[in-house]
Structure 1
């Protein structure tokens, strides 16, 4: 069986990079719980979400932290909103499937506008 880290990354990349709706059957539990207020519970909403992504949409995963059945992926979404968004997607994996999802999203601030001069998103 795949590790939770690989399952979460396959779910994200399958949905947002490959735009492959079959990712739902492979990686999402039938009783999937969603905590994003704009997306309903259950895996049935995900294929429509994938199909509705604009041609200009892109997703880039960054660092990944996993402990037990929880996985956090720091990523960059372009085309999700009017400005690029930096997110931490949090997944709970159970029985080899994504069982639950939370996310924290923030508009990206360009490196030139940060007090530290550091970017909000980097690759590990």
Structure 2
């Protein structure tokens, strides 16, 4: 499995299928987290998945790869009560996600945007 497919599979298993075992399959035990609300490792994220509301959903968008870095543009519906658009950035090594950064902002509908453009998906 290439790095893009690995990240897409891991994120889909975690956020769409809510499969906690995906952390053991795809993430390094020494996972480094740069999102300030989660500690290093996977325990913090693992604990947050079961507490997601029933109407939470994740929609993957564009995914790109540059060597061991994979970025995926996605929509998180009902993430802490809001719809958020994010770019999740992962470093991959030896078939495992070893490091994560993200850039996330609340989605603004196209009709409320000054430029009239939607934030997701990228066309």
What TM-score bracket applies, with the shorter chain setting the length?
Answer: over 0.9
Residues 4-54 of structure 1: CA deviation (Å, up to 9, x unaligned): 111111111011000000101110001000011111101222321211111
TM normalised by structure 2 equals: 0.95
Q: Which residue of 1 aligns with 2:14?
A: 15
Which structure 2 segments of 5+ residues have no match?
none
Q: Quote the residue 1:77 is aligned against.
A: 76
CA distance in 1 between partners of 2:5 and 2:95 (Å): 10
Q: CA RMSD in A?
A: 1.1
- 2:60 matches 1:61: yes
Secondary structure in structure 2 of the residue aligned to 1:84 = strand
User: Does the aligned pair in 2 maintain the 1:21–1:46 contact within 8 Å?
Assistant: no
Query: 2:64 and 2:109 mapped to 1: Cα distance?
Result: 24
Measure how far apart 1:83 and its partner are. Answer: 2.1
Partner of 2:38: 39
